């Protein structure tokens, strides 16, 4: 019985780890042009990031980088995400963790 319970718990853990590693889409492809227009209208200057910053989903944006509110009624999410522009890419960032959750090319 113990083996069965341990096997089931292991399977749940592995399944959860796989799901956590998958990228969550915050901004759909259809919404991306609206986001680009929104950012262009605000004339936000691109951020200069440290050379050792890895531009990838899951990376933590340094505290020295200013995050801007993504205040768009068209995009409704539970989290009020923020963004920063880096190398002509928009990084969508979770403000609580400062982790990049999506990159818009």
Q: pLDDT tens across 12-67, in order?
A: 333 333 334 445 668 889 989 998 899 889 998 999 988 888 899 999 999 999 99
The answer to whether position 54 is within a domain reads yes
Q: How many domains does the chain have?
A: 1
pTM of the model: 0.73
The answer to whether position 1 is within a domain reads no
Q: CA 11, 56, 24, 76 torsion: positive or negative?
A: positive
CATH number reported for the structural domain that contains residue 92 in this entry: 3.10.450
The answer to whether position 7 is within a domain reads no
Distance CA 63, CA 86 (A): 15
The answer to whether position 63 is within a domain reads yes
Task: Write out the residue range of the structural domain in which residue 90 sits.
Answer: 25-104
| pLDDT top residue among 33 and 77 | 33
DSSP for 41-91, please give it.
HHTPPPPP--TT---STTPBPPTTSPPEE---TTS--SS--EEEEETTEEE
The answer to whether position 74 is within a domain reads yes
Tokens of 9: 């718990």
């Amino acid at each position: 019985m113990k083996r069965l319970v341990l096997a089931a718990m292991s399977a749940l853990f592995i399944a959860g780890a796989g799901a956590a590693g998958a990228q969550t889409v915050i901004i759909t492809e259809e919404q991306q042009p609206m986001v680009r227009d929104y950012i262009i209208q605000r004339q936000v200057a691109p951020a200069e990031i440290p050379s050792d910053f890895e531009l990838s989903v899951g990376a933590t944006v340094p505290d020295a980088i200013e995050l801007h509110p993504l205040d768009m009624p068209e995009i409704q999410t539970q989290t009020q995400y923020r963004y920063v522009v880096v190398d002509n890419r928009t990084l969508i960032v979770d403000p609580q963790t400062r982790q990049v959750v999506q990159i818009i090319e």
